[in-house]
Amino acid sequence: MKKVIPIASDHGGFEMKEYIKNRLENEGFEIIDFGTFSNESVDYPDMIHPLAHAIATEQYELGIILCGSGNGVQMTANKHPNVRAALCWNIEIAKFAREHTNANVIALPGRFIPFDLAFEMVKIFLNTSFSGGRHELRVKKIGLF
Ligand code: RB5
Distance CA 76, CA 41 (A): 17
Give the model's pLDDT for residue 144: 84
Domain boundaries, the chain: 4-140
Is any ligand 1 atom within 6 A of the Cβ of residue 128? no
Residue type, 101: T
- Closest ligand 1 atom to residue 75 Cα is 10
Identify whether 36 is preceded by a cis peptide bond (ω within 30 of 0): yes
Fold of domain 4-140:
Ribose 5-phosphate Isomerase B; Chain: A, (3.40.1400)
- Does any ligand 1 atom lie closer than 6 A to the CB of residue 110? no
Q: What is the pTM of this model?
A: 0.97
Q: How many angstroms separate the CA atoms of 82 and 97, rounded?
A: 15
Q: What residue owns the CA closest to ligand 1's atom 5?
A: 68
- pLDDT of the chain, 145 residues: tens digit per residue: 458 999 999 999 999 999 999 999 999 999 999 999 999 999 999 999 999 999 999 999 999 999 999 999 999 999 999 999 999 999 999 999 999 999 999 999 999 999 999 999 999 999 999 999 999 999 999 988 6
Taking CA atoms only, the protein residue closest to ligand 1 atom 7 is 68
Q: Is 88 a catalytic residue?
A: no
